[in-house]
Structure 1
């Protein structure tokens, strides 16, 4: 099956953004997302899949004893992740691919991490379903993203902002992943919501299959 026009457009956008991505994100990482990665990523264990690995900003936070596979739609982003991994002395197996159609067998991983990526995918339900498929029973799903605010004035601003960001870059601000994670059959272990509810971390477990 060929790629959709949306996938091709997204790859083109992220390839173009890649060289300046870390510089553009530096302010948001400090002042919006704060210690979100620090809270989330060290919870990973075993065989880890980093979906939407981007430039590899999670790499410095993984425990030393995990094995890391990274997937991203953008070859330019993957090139930067490869360079970061080399600078950190971390081994990582990088793949170009679509988060909604993961090129991995069922039960291949113990942890799936997705940080600041579900806000940009066309179908977050499909991505979470794929994460569940590739997780072993008892495996962990770890999410970090900007989500719809708990404060109505901020929610309104997010809705207005989306009128520009969705057509331009597929960037959503009024999504929330927790209901989707529950609907996919995960058990939520912990969540943390900050910045007027606009940033949320989720730690969830894929239950063992019945029987």
Structure 2
């Protein structure tokens, strides 16, 4: 599906970034530091927002077509990034490989988001940061009910879940939440979590 969507993805997401996720990419990327892994990097829309202290950026994505667009974006920005095809549910990196892992607007569509969170935690160094942005299930039940109805169609059509709450998976993955925000009637969440410095 993402191979087909890739050429029009940027046009489609721009509206939602203004209306629903405004400032979210900036919030997440501003907290990145050191060696950064971006999971489900897509077309590289986060690239302009990484600070200088994000020394090296590696990005993985399941869709080669999305990666082609990300490579062009990086080149246009004069950035050196390491982009490769890989599965978020089975990251091809050793334990404790990165200082920061970033995942934006993607855990909603990764089939096994629990496995993806576990993998992101695994590749973090002690003291490392996991930075997330996604739409989630609202804590206001009338909104959640509407999301659930929409989800019945979007899961079938695009594998996209509306009611997931990734933050609930972090403790089991050995991570502690440092900072988080819920916005838009509880349907958008930004999370900065950390792997304890003494973690194995």
Could you say which TM-score interval applies, normalised by the shorter chain? over 0.9
Partner Cα separation in structure 1 for residue 91 and residue 167 of structure 2 = 21
Q: Which structure 2 segments of 5+ residues have no match?
A: none
Counterpart in the other structure of 2:7: 19
Counterpart in the other structure of 2:130: 141
How far residue 150 of structure 1 moved from its aligned partner, in angstroms, is 2.0
Runs of 4+ aligned structure 1 residues displaced above 2 Å come to: 208-211
Partner Cα separation in structure 2 for residue 107 and residue 26 of structure 1 = 34
Aligned residues: 199
- TM-score (norm: length of structure 1): 0.92
Q: What are the Cα deviations for residues 110-153 of structure 1, in whole angstroms up to 9, with x where unaligned?
A: 00000001000111111111111111111000000000012222
1:77 aligns with 2:62: no
- TM-score (norm: length of structure 2): 0.97
Partner Cα separation in structure 2 for residue 68 and residue 106 of structure 1 = 17
Q: Which structure 1 segments of 5+ residues have no match?
A: 1-12
The aligned runs of 1:12-161 (5 Å cut-off) are 13-66=1-54, 67-161=56-150
Q: What are the Cα deviations for residues 22-72 of structure 1, in whole angstroms up to 9, with x where unaligned?
A: 000111000100111111111000000000000001100001232100000
Partner Cα separation in structure 2 for residue 183 and residue 158 of structure 1 = 26
SS at match of 2:163: coil
The two structures, once aligned, show a CA RMSD in angstroms of 1.1
SS at match of 1:60: helix
